[in-house]
Amino acid sequence: MHAKQQSPTKTSHAVFLDVDGTYADYGVVPAAHLLAVRAARAAGHKVLLCTGRPLSMLPAHILEAGFDGLVASAGAYVEVAGEVLMDRRFPAEMAARTLAALDAHDAVYVLETPDSLHVRREAEARLREIIEAHFSQRPDARASGSSAIVGSLTPIPALPSFAKISVFEAPVTVGSIAAEIGQDVAVVENSIADEGRHTGELFRRGISKADGVAVAIERLGISVEDTIAFGDGENDLEMVAFAGLGVAIEGSHPGLLALADRTAPPPSLNGIAEAFAELGLI
């Protein structure tokens, strides 16, 4: 275990930002967040995204600020300065077992890879309907938010290779489906899709955002004590626990709030910009 650092010094830090609910709101990045990232990088800090989204679900407007790298697919993919350092996917047997269980329940899901997003042909119309309904909760997010998903969808190939699965609708809990698949598959329930339906994410057990952070900072030559992580969801728990300073967004997952060293306001209140200023990053 490493000691938690309560405030950063003037040394160079590695800052990791979750996307949905942290850096962006319904896929929309506040202008203040974009400016804060640019200012922190200009001050000599390294700023990276650390998201459950795959690279293929990160459109230009989310990347517009400029980043030193990213951890994607909830830790399965790591890229620093344009170099891919890790790209871990489901082994073929595990992939087949996972899809068989999802299809047995007629679930609506997306297979996520760094290059593409795949959906069953017979589920595509329902998926588009779910995604559009979700982003319509914030009308200014429909063009930028929903298009990051629906604009990249292709049919599932004969031999699918993927890092993670987002389940947008299922007749039973995603946790129960994961249990059917086996212990080598882990789950985070209630992800991006609307509340009131069984939703979640399936990924390889033993991989978390913290693993991706560790790979990234090793390449950057920055110690764990000089890392800062911002998040709001269950898949941010390991990352926030691992970082030298863990920041939870106000109103986020209760376990994350209990674990974090401090909190920051949500994107609607320019929380990243406010926290960067308070922490002396800009």
pLDDT tens digits along 206-221:
999 999 999 999 999 9
- Strand, helix or coil for residue 29: coil
Q: DSSP assignment, residue 267? A: G
* C-alpha span between 262 and 7 (Å, rounded): 10
Distances (CA, A) of 101 to 159, 179, 182, 192, 195: 16, 10, 10, 21, 22
Buried-exposed string 88-98: b where 16+ CB fall within 10 A, e elsewhere? bbbeeebbebb
CB 87 within 8 Å of CB 77: yes
Helix (H), strand (E) at residue 17: strand 14-17
CATH top class, domain 14-88+208-278: alpha beta
Closest CA to 207 of 72, 47, 98: 72
Domain extents in the chain:
14-88+208-278, 92-204
CB 279 within 8 Å of CB 230: no
* C-alpha span between 218 and 214 (Å, rounded): 6
Q: Is the pLDDT of residue 9 over 70?
A: no
CB 252 within 8 Å of CB 264: no
Number of residues that this document lists for the chain: 282
pLDDT bin (cut points 50, 70, 90) of residue 193 is very low
pLDDT bin (cut points 50, 70, 90) of residue 3 is very low
The residue type found at 270 is N
pLDDT bin (cut points 50, 70, 90) of residue 135 is confident
- Strand, helix or coil for residue 190: coil
User: What is the CATH topology of the domain spanning 92-204?
Assistant: 3.30.1240
Least confident of 36-40, 196-200, 254-258: 196-200
Q: Which pair of tokens denotes residue 281?
A: 């990053």
The pLDDT mean for the chain works out to 90
The three-point CA angle 175-89-73 to 5° equals 70
Tokens 């300073």 — which residue? 245
Q: Is the pLDDT of residue 4 over 70?
A: no
Closest CA to 139 of 269, 25, 267: 25
CB 205 within 8 Å of CB 184: yes
